[in-house]
Structure 1
Amino acid sequence: MLSKMLLAFSSICVFHVGFAQQSYGNSTVSALFAYGDSILDTGNNNLLLTLTKVNFFPYGRNFVGGRPTGRFGNGRVFSDMIAEGLGLKTLLPAYRDPTLSDDDLPTGVCFASGGSGLDAITARIQGVIWVSDQVNDFQNYITRLNGVVGDQEKTNQIISNAVYLISAGNNDIAITYFTTMTRRFQYTVPGYTDLLVTWTRDLIKSLYDMGARKFAVMGTLPLGCLPGARSMIGNVLKICEVFSNQAADMFNKKLSADLDNLSATFPGAKFMYIDMYNPLLGLINNPQANGFIDVTDGCCCTPTSIIPCLDASQYVFWDVAHPTEKSYQTITPSIIEAIKENLA
């Protein structure tokens, strides 16, 4: 159990809404595709030979039916809420779910894998799906989608009018650089964060070459303020760990600046940066404003919370690394509006 909790710190079903319509509801968004890590993963790790999976109680305690689905939280996760906010579906299904329905394909699926990252080492040391392999899954998805809609032109319309949601970098910084120190002997923090931005651009190019045109790219969480970071040995006061936060902030600023300049590199594409760092830090620094009580501990599955708390809605974090459903619900409305404004 301890190894699972350490990996969780490091790592950082389904409603059919019919085929994508030409008007795509109230926007020009046809579908949502999610890539990256556990912030977006809706169950792709369930059948992998890895400790980085959460298809067991108490995960999913507040999910429909109170069942664990492989989502890294107590209920729905960020990708589900973005899909709902865009008017697509209430839950974004995992592509590797063996029960995935063909009916769900036109409005999007999730390819993200908890514990994954931009660095190949990050995925390899945990036995999860690297982002490049998630792109391979997307290629297989396109073939399957074409068989469902039966028209290449319709397939192309869905692909080009979809939003591509990416969350990567959390585990590269938290695990590969600071926890295992695999890259720390090779690169300075500025050098490694430069690499992460380059790898993000490579991921975007792979998707762009396959028809993607609308990109919503998330920055990292305030990694040093996660309960797992606060509980490191010697941190008696459970204060935020400064070095992880500095690296996360550095990466986020570089990523945001790079996205501002990508339109010239990828003609016809739209890009937006999603700030996850400051909204979550806002909840941590002013919890009472949104009804939170505990910001330093996870409700569940930590050395100090072996028995889950009674009310996860009072906690900013569910476990050692992942926000609660309420935290996502609190920060997503403004993000959804920004996606509609910039990408729809």
Structure 2
Amino acid sequence: MQGQRNNLISSSSCVHVFCIFLALLVAGTGSEKVPAVIVFGDSSVDAGNNNFIPTVARSNFAPYGRDFKGGKPTGRFSNGRIPTDFISEAVGVKPYIPAYLDPKYNISDFATGVTFASAATGYDNATSEVLSVIPLWKQLDFYKDYQTKLKAHVGESKANQTISEALYMMSLGTNDFLENYYAIPGRSSEYTPRQYENFLAGIAESFIRKLHGLGARKISLGGLPPMGCLPLERTTNFVGGNECVPSYNAIALEFNNKLKKLTVKLNKELPGIRLVFSNPYFILLQIITKPAHYGFQSTSVACCATGMFEMGYACRRGDMFTCSDASKFVFWDSFHPTEKTNAIVANYVVKNVLAEFL
């Protein structure tokens, strides 16, 4: 029966809600061991913080969010929910994680989950400066502010319990390479690719140490996807016949290996920490290389507009060309997965990595 359930989850018949319920059955989740999900990162986990800062890195307009509850764009870079929404639901918290800067929400909403993430940011402060978004250090400042509000809202004792038992998710790094290192002059003249990987890993380590110092114990460090297979990179890979860019995928694998080693190191050095490495690389690559197995038809182009290079405002301008059924596409825009892909990746992470917290 266990094998049958696993097959059901990866089959093409598995749709969003059913995926979650099947994942709950397989992993035996739905407990109260995780009182809140707290998120740091980039557009992969931004639920709309960028809507409230002066930046062009936004998605609070159609066709984004057309498959979200109510059909309204929220600032999530997808047609619907993002991975942390699905993870929050799968661990028994709530189906959507709100953005910290969204005035529609307050500390009563944030007490069980909040995202400080900002689209187009990275580990490197220079990455966040490209499109004037929230750097990682500022996200940590927001978290400190959140702690103060949480203690005032529920009392210090309960707040400390939530802080220590919450699940902390980190998802960033892609922009550091694709929107910074390989896109503009600067870091590439200071560092070789391997040196830049080490530079970023050092920032990740410092951030986790600070987070641990503030009381966090259950932390998921997210890895890079096969970024050479993003539609934008494939579209511009003229020499390679519009296939995945091997060099970018190699960088992702190298950097992920360094992050994995970092988790081993910090688990030995930081008392009480339970740090895990959530790697989306192989599950996403499997979806891209075996799309029919998951019910997808298109992997090299996205749903939005022509599917080759559009994201953000370019998706709005090309709305008339946008696909009618996003569930057939692995990618929503040239950089971000569809809701269906997000659900599959989230279920994989819950069952294979986060299950130890449940």
TM-score with structure 1 setting the length:
0.90
- Structure 1 residues 192-203: aligned runs within 5 Å: 192-203=196-207
Q: Distance in 2 between matches of 1:323 and 1:181?
A: 28
1:191 aligned onto 2:205: no
- Structure 1 residues 205-284: aligned runs within 5 Å: 205-232=209-236, 234-235=238-239, 237-284=241-288
Match of 1:327 in 2: 341
Match of 2:38 in 1: 33
Alpha carbons 1:217, 1:274 under 8 Å: kept? yes
Alpha carbons 1:302, 1:320 under 8 Å: kept? no
Q: Distance in 2 between matches of 1:249 and 1:31?
A: 30
Aligned residues: 320
Residue identity in the other structure for 1:312? A
Q: Following TM superposition, by how much is the alpha carbon of 1:25 offset from its aligned partner in structure 2, in angstroms?
A: 6.3
Residue identity in the other structure for 1:147? A
Structure holding more helix per residue: 2
1:316 aligned onto 2:330: yes
Residue identity in the other structure for 1:131? L
Say which SS state the counterpart of residue 264 (structure 1) adopts. helix
The structure-2 alpha-carbon separation of the partners of 1:301 and 1:124, relative to structure 1 and needing over 3 Å to count, comes to farther
1:43 aligned onto 2:62: no
1:174 aligned onto 2:178: yes
Q: Following TM superposition, by how much is the alpha carbon of 1:226 offset from its aligned partner in structure 2, in angstroms?
A: 0.1
Alpha carbons 1:173, 1:248 under 8 Å: kept? no
Q: Following TM superposition, by how much is the alpha carbon of 1:276 offset from its aligned partner in structure 2, in angstroms?
A: 0.8
1:130 aligned onto 2:144: no
The structure-2 alpha-carbon separation of the partners of 1:154 and 1:251, relative to structure 1 and needing over 3 Å to count, comes to same
Q: Following TM superposition, by how much is the alpha carbon of 1:53 offset from its aligned partner in structure 2, in angstroms?
A: 0.7
Residue identity in the other structure for 2:105? L
Q: Following TM superposition, by how much is the alpha carbon of 1:105 offset from its aligned partner in structure 2, in angstroms?
A: 2.2
- Structure 1 residues 299-310: aligned runs within 5 Å: 299-302=303-306, 304=308, 306=318, 307-310=321-324
Q: Distance in 1 between matches of 2:106 and 2:73?
A: 19
Offset from partner CA, 1:87-123 (integer Å, 9 cap, x none): 0001000001011133212211001111010000000
1:94 aligned onto 2:108: no
Offset from partner CA, 1:215-260 (integer Å, 9 cap, x none): 1111011111000001116357311112211111110111111112
Say which SS state the counterpart of residue 268 (structure 1) adopts. coil
Q: Following TM superposition, by how much is the alpha carbon of 1:143 offset from its aligned partner in structure 2, in angstroms?
A: 1.1
Say which SS state the counterpart of residue 157 (structure 1) adopts. helix
User: Which range moves more in the overlay, 311-320 or 298-307?
Assistant: 298-307
Offset from partner CA, 1:239-287 (integer Å, 9 cap, x none): 1112211111110111111112211221100011111111100000000
Q: Distance in 2 between matches of 1:27 and 1:131?
A: 29
Match of 2:16 in 1: none
Say which SS state the counterpart of residue 165 (structure 1) adopts. strand
Q: Following TM superposition, by how much is the alpha carbon of 1:79 offset from its aligned partner in structure 2, in angstroms?
A: 1.0
Q: Following TM superposition, by how much is the alpha carbon of 1:48 offset from its aligned partner in structure 2, in angstroms?
A: 1.4
User: Which range moves more in the overlay, 178-187 or 274-283?
Assistant: 178-187
The partner residue of 1:117 within 115, 118, 122 is 122
Say which SS state the counterpart of residue 51 (structure 2) adopts. coil
User: Which range moves more in the overlay, 328-337 or 106-115?
Assistant: 328-337
Q: Following TM superposition, by how much is the alpha carbon of 1:340 offset from its aligned partner in structure 2, in angstroms?
A: 4.2
Residue identity in the other structure for 2:247? F
1:53 aligned onto 2:67: no
Residue identity in the other structure for 1:168? L
Residue identity in the other structure for 2:350? I
Say which SS state the counterpart of residue 257 (structure 2) adopts. helix
Residue identity in the other structure for 1:315? F
Residue identity in the other structure for 1:107? T
Offset from partner CA, 1:54-103 (integer Å, 9 cap, x none): 00000001001111000000000011011111100010000010111332
Q: Distance in 2 between matches of 1:234 and 1:340?
A: 39
The partner residue of 2:113 within 95, 99, 108 is 108
Q: Following TM superposition, by how much is the alpha carbon of 1:196 offset from its aligned partner in structure 2, in angstroms?
A: 1.1
User: Which range moves more in the overlay, 95-104 or 290-299?
Assistant: 95-104
Say which SS state the counterpart of residue 275 (structure 2) adopts. strand
User: Which range moves more in the overlay, 190-199 or 327-336?
Assistant: 327-336
Gaps of 5+ in 2: 1-28, 311-317
The structure-2 alpha-carbon separation of the partners of 1:333 and 1:267, relative to structure 1 and needing over 3 Å to count, comes to same
- % of aligned pairs identical? 37
- State the Cα RMSD in Å: 1.6
Q: Distance in 2 between matches of 1:340 and 1:285?
A: 25
